[in-house]
Amino acid sequence: MADTKNIPLVDIRHLKEYFYINVGPFQTKPLKAVDDVSFTIKRGETLGLVGESGCGKTTVGRTVLQLYKPTGGEIWYDGKQVKTAKDLKEFRTKATMVFQDPYSSLNPRMTVSDIIAEPLDVHKLCKSKEERRDRVLELMNYVGLNSEHASRYAHEFSGGQRQRIGIARSLAVNPEFIVADEPVSALDVSIQAQVINMFDELQDKLGLTYLFIAHDLLVVRHISDRIAVMYLGKMVELADAQEIYNHPLHPYSKSLISAVPVPDPKIARANQRIALKGDIPSPLNAPSGCPFRTRCQYATEACAESMPEFKEVSTGHFVACHRTAEIND
């Protein structure tokens, strides 16, 4: 255990997730939702994952936890590969998930205490009823829920409180790693800040590691140490949060960041947006080579021929673009 500092907590290598779609009788075609994605997350770090809808960011989150069986690639956790069913069972007590929609991710027929305690029951972590109850109350306390609410049902709560219940549930097994899939997108602005702060505080208190998936770049920048940008199943850029926000290198990241509406009239009006042509192509008919080339203003013939390598251009700053050097002169 001495060298845990050097081993990343989560190490994802060449992760692939293909869904096979029927395109005709007896014919299927792979939809490459995630195609060769690699990244690592250090203990106690938050990695933000951004991209447009359909880019595969949610699939990455779910495949990392093996809610979908990966088509290819390896998932290493704390220096060990998660491979067999036994590994997976153990992995699931260390890595949990917070879902996007606080309305559909809680069972309406269960009380709050049963929802929160379900992972405890599944993994048989509590020996007695008292222990179970105490643990539930402790978890509710962590996320700022009143202990009187334990016997209520989910429909009696507002969106923000429901998301707190979902977070308490994911904390039940004492995880080290949490995949948070758009945990604040369904919440009101004034509630978003409460939940974001809670993620921050829980990280400080419990030493959690997050994979934070969201489409709101300002939120992601706020909470993340590093940010990864995805496009059509591929990771196109990965760097320190401030670095990627201030000096994006990939043309897609550039336009994504320029498109963020900044809540400040002077900046927003002066802001030169880099408009993208058209829509994101269907992942079923992804372009050859670089997936972004059909919308990229710098695209050349080379871009159609091969997928650019995901390489480190400066310390900790990875980008997958053939023309990184020329564009960013």
HSE-up of residue 225 (Cα within 13 Å, Cβ side): 14
Which is nearer to other proteins, 275 or 325 (by Cβ)?
275
- In terms of residues, how long is the chain? 329
Tell me the one-letter amino acid at 54: G
Q: At closest approach, how far in Å is the CB of 102 from other proteins?
A: 13
Which is nearer to other proteins, 81 or 282 (by Cβ)?
282
Which is nearer to other proteins, 94 or 222 (by Cβ)?
222
Residue 294 tokens read as 């059909």
Which is nearer to other proteins, 100 or 161 (by Cβ)?
161
Q: At closest approach, how far in Å is the CB of 252 from other proteins?
A: 9
CB 191 within 8 A of CB 73: no
Which is nearer to other proteins, 175 or 251 (by Cβ)?
251
Which is nearer to other proteins, 73 or 281 (by Cβ)?
281
Long-range pairs, 61-67, Cβ under 8 A, ≥24: 61/97, 61/179, 61/181, 61/211, 61/213, 62/97, 62/179, 62/181, 63/15, 63/17, 63/34, 64/10, 64/12, 64/15, 64/95, 64/179, 64/211, 65/92, 65/95, 65/96, 65/97, 65/179, 66/91, 67/97
Which is nearer to other proteins, 39 or 292 (by Cβ)?
292
For other proteins, the binding residues (CB under 8 A) are: 52-53, 158, 160-161, 188-194, 196-197, 200, 215, 217-219, 221-222, 242, 255-256, 258-269, 271, 273, 275-276, 279-280
* Span between the terminal Cα atoms of the chain, in Å: 44
Q: At closest approach, how far in Å is the CB of 231 from other proteins?
A: 10
Q: At closest approach, how far in Å is the CB of 10 from other proteins?
A: 24
Q: At closest approach, how far in Å is the CB of 263 from other proteins?
A: 4
C-alpha closest to that of 234 among 180, 290, 275: 290
Q: At closest approach, how far in Å is the CB of 70 from other proteins?
A: 26
Instruction: Give 264's contacts (C-beta < 8 A, 6+ positions apart).
Output: none
Q: Give 153's DSSP letter.
A: B
Q: At closest approach, how far in Å is the CB of 259 from other proteins?
A: 4
CB 78 within 8 A of CB 4: yes
User: What's the Cα-to-Cα distance from 69 to each of 73, 95, 116, 253, 265, rounded to whole Å?
Assistant: 10, 16, 26, 29, 46
